[in-house]
Amino acid sequence: MSVGLPVLILLTSLLVAFVTFFLPQDRHQVRNALNLGGAVLKLGLVGFMLSEVAQGSIYETRMQFAPGLFLLLRVDALSLLFVSLSAFLWLLTTIYAIAYLRGKPHLSRFFGFFSLCVAATTGIAFSGSLISFLIFFELLTLSTWPLVVHKQDKKSIAAGRSYLAYALPASTVLLIAIVWLESAVGPIEFVNPGDLRQLSDTSLRVIFVLFIVGLGVKAALVPLHGWLPAAMAAPAPVSALLHAVAVVKAGAFGVMRIVLDVFGLDRMAELGLALPLAALASFTILWGSARALNQVEIKKRLAFSTVSQVSYIVLGIALASPFAVIGGLVHLVHQGLMKITLFFCAGIYDERASIRRIEQLDGIGPHMPWTSLCFSLGAIGMVGLPPTAGFVTKIYLGIGAVQAEAFWVLAVLAASTLLNAAYFLPLVYRIWFLEPGQAIVEGPAPTERPTGLIAPAVVTAFAFVAAGLLAASDFSPLAWATLIAERGYLP
């Protein structure tokens, strides 16, 4: 059982994907049952695994390809941080997508690639070696493209082109880094990365930079972030997937693996790479926020906010002090929960009230109370106000910065918080305190039905508030991040 479980979890999404591809468009019941069933099953299995790994189990499955090429699935605590997030959000996004896309064409294609994306994400989380990671990373790139161009209009096709134009050169760079490293050290497993000393310090530095560039496109590090705002042309569930569940997170998770497992915090510091990485992350945080400020479309503003927020993860890892690492790890979950709530709500606004631009939000609160409540909570969380999960992240990063004696980071955090407030709070103000515009008053009353549309947003909003309020409990994401850090990465 312990050998087969990772494969089984992978198959829950993979098999669903393959079966869905061959379902005719009008078999709604079968398709929905299949996708929801797969998601529920997966969540159950992941839950079981969480309890096992918490007690110290490790799962490992190995599949041999050619020499040097093998698929290694190895589940440790860090894998589970990512997998539980994506399994939980897959279920919610599936519910949301079923409601959102009701009556739209090409649904089998959509849900097929959607499940394939989640399978790739699971594979990324489970990967125990660099090559396994690359395989799933590429699978993710390819299976996301049909989702980005799903609407098949000019804008979507252009977004898809831009996505690939960023992602494929990046994966080439990643491949160079992997092959360079492995041709000197041998196949690299995360649990035992071999003796990197066989390479000179300069080579190692170059390889590290190649890794960051290769992963940085997906993690949307400036200046490699250009594809992300463009990809907003995709349907809302896809944006949710890109921003919270899969793509951006895969990049950030990759940075974690490279820094924590392949290089290690100590070697990164020895090579003098920690400070540049922290600086890059800080720059991305500020740049993303600054660009978000002058966006007039809601989804575009959210996209630039993602650029900024994901770099908190990278920043935490780069600072390398205990609290900072924990803060970075836990933000993977926190940001996912908050950002997906915002995108769910943005999708509902767009779909039910045709609200796409910020000034259209005026006074929508009382008309769409649930959506507006969740949206506002998400905004507050992004700013980092208590009692939300965003607050926990920022406190940990702040203490971590002090521990690492990088006091300039405090200034970055403060500036970023102010910027976050500047571009999120006016939205909240507009929603609740301004008089509604003509379109809302005179038009038909916007609904938040069906339940499948609004329920996922309510659940995720509840989740990140709970993650903030109950951060000190044994079952919070914070507790798990602390466990990860204490088990492997901290002295």
Partner 1 sequence: MRASLAISALVAVPLLSALLAAVWSQRGAMCATGGLLGVMLALMVLLLPDTGRGMTSLAVGEWQPPLGIMLRADGLALAFLVMSACVMAAVLFSARRVPADPGQTGEGRRQWAFWPLALLLWSALNVVFLSRDLFNLYVALEMLSLSAVALVALDGKAEAVAAALRYLMFAMMGSLAYLLGAALLYSAHGTLDLALLADLRLGELGLAEQGSGTGSVGGTRHDGLREGGAVNVLAAGLMTAGLAVKTALFPFHAWLPPAHAGAPAPASAMLSALVPKASFVILMRLWFEALPGLASAALLASLGTLGTAAVLYGSLMALQQVRLKLVIAYSTIAQIGYLFLVFPLAGGDTFTQPWAAGAWTGAMFQALSHGLAKAAMFLCAGVWIIAAGHDRLDGMRGLVAETPMTVFAFALAAVSIVGLPPSGGFTAKYLMLTAAFASGQIVWAAALLLGGLLSAAYLYRPIALAFARRDEADFAPVPRVLQVAPLLLATAAILLGLVSQPPFSLLQIGLPASAVEGLE
Query: Smallest Cα–Cα separation from 243: which of 171, 302, 330, 314?
Result: 302
Distance, in Å, from the CA atom of 100 to the CA atom of 372, rounded to the nearest integer, reads 17
- Determine, following the binding rule CB under 8 A, whether residue 182 of this chain makes contact with partner 1: yes
Among 56, 67, 103, 444, interactor with partner 1 by CB under 8 A = 67
Ordered alpha helix ranges (H), 294-368: 298-319, 322-353
Query: Smallest Cα–Cα separation from 89: which of 58, 114, 70, 67?
Result: 114
Among 64, 435, 444, 472, interactor with partner 1 by CB under 8 A = 64
- Determine, following the binding rule CB under 8 A, whether residue 422 of this chain makes contact with partner 1: no
Q: How many CB atoms sit inside 10 A of residue 220's CB?
A: 29
Distance, in Å, from the CA atom of 335 to the CA atom of 316, rounded to the nearest integer, reads 13
**157 or 213, CB closer to partner 1?**
157
Q: Are 255 and 314 in contact (CB under 8 A)?
A: yes
**1 or 66, CB closer to partner 1?**
66
- Determine, following the binding rule CB under 8 A, whether residue 202 of this chain makes contact with partner 1: no
Among 24, 68, 223, 369, interactor with partner 1 by CB under 8 A = 68
- Determine, following the binding rule CB under 8 A, whether residue 176 of this chain makes contact with partner 1: yes
Least distance in angstroms from the C-beta of 80 to partner 1: 24
**57 or 183, CB closer to partner 1?**
183
- Determine, following the binding rule CB under 8 A, whether residue 180 of this chain makes contact with partner 1: yes
Among 175, 199, 399, 434, interactor with partner 1 by CB under 8 A = 175
> Could you say which residues in the range 4-23 bind partner 1, by CB under 8 A?
21
**27 or 430, CB closer to partner 1?**
27
Counting runs of H as helices and runs of E as strands, what totals does the chain give?
20, 2
Query: Smallest Cα–Cα separation from 372: which of 393, 349, 356?
Result: 349
10 Å CB burial of residue 62 (0-12, 13-18, 19+) is middle
- Determine, following the binding rule CB under 8 A, whether residue 187 of this chain makes contact with partner 1: yes
Structure tokens belonging to residue 377? 């909570």
**67 or 491, CB closer to partner 1?**
67
- Determine, following the binding rule CB under 8 A, whether residue 186 of this chain makes contact with partner 1: yes
**173 or 259, CB closer to partner 1?**
173
Q: 60: which DSSP letter?
A: E
Among 8, 19, 23, 179, interactor with partner 1 by CB under 8 A = 179
Least distance in angstroms from the C-beta of 46 to partner 1: 24
Mention every residue, 6+ apart, whose C-beta is less than 8 A from residue 249.
82, 85, 86, 121, 310, 332, 336
H/E stretch holding 291 reads helix 274-293
Least distance in angstroms from the C-beta of 111 to partner 1: 14
**68 or 443, CB closer to partner 1?**
68
Q: Dihedral, CA atoms, 329, 333, 335, 337, nearest 10 degrees?
A: -170
**21 or 370, CB closer to partner 1?**
21
The CA distances from residue 328 to 310, 325, 356, in Å, are: 9, 5, 32
- Determine, following the binding rule CB under 8 A, whether residue 199 of this chain makes contact with partner 1: no
Binding mask 109-148 for partner 1 (x = CB under 8 A): x---------------------x--xx--xx-xx---x--
Binding mask 318-337 for partner 1 (x = CB under 8 A): --------------------
Mention every residue, 6+ apart, whose C-beta is less than 8 A from residue 112.
17, 18, 20, 21
User: Can you give the binding site for partner 1, defined by CB under 8 A?
Assistant: 21, 64-69, 106, 109, 131, 134-135, 138-139, 141-142, 146, 149, 152-154, 157, 160-161, 164, 168-169, 171-172, 175-176, 179-180, 182-184, 186-187
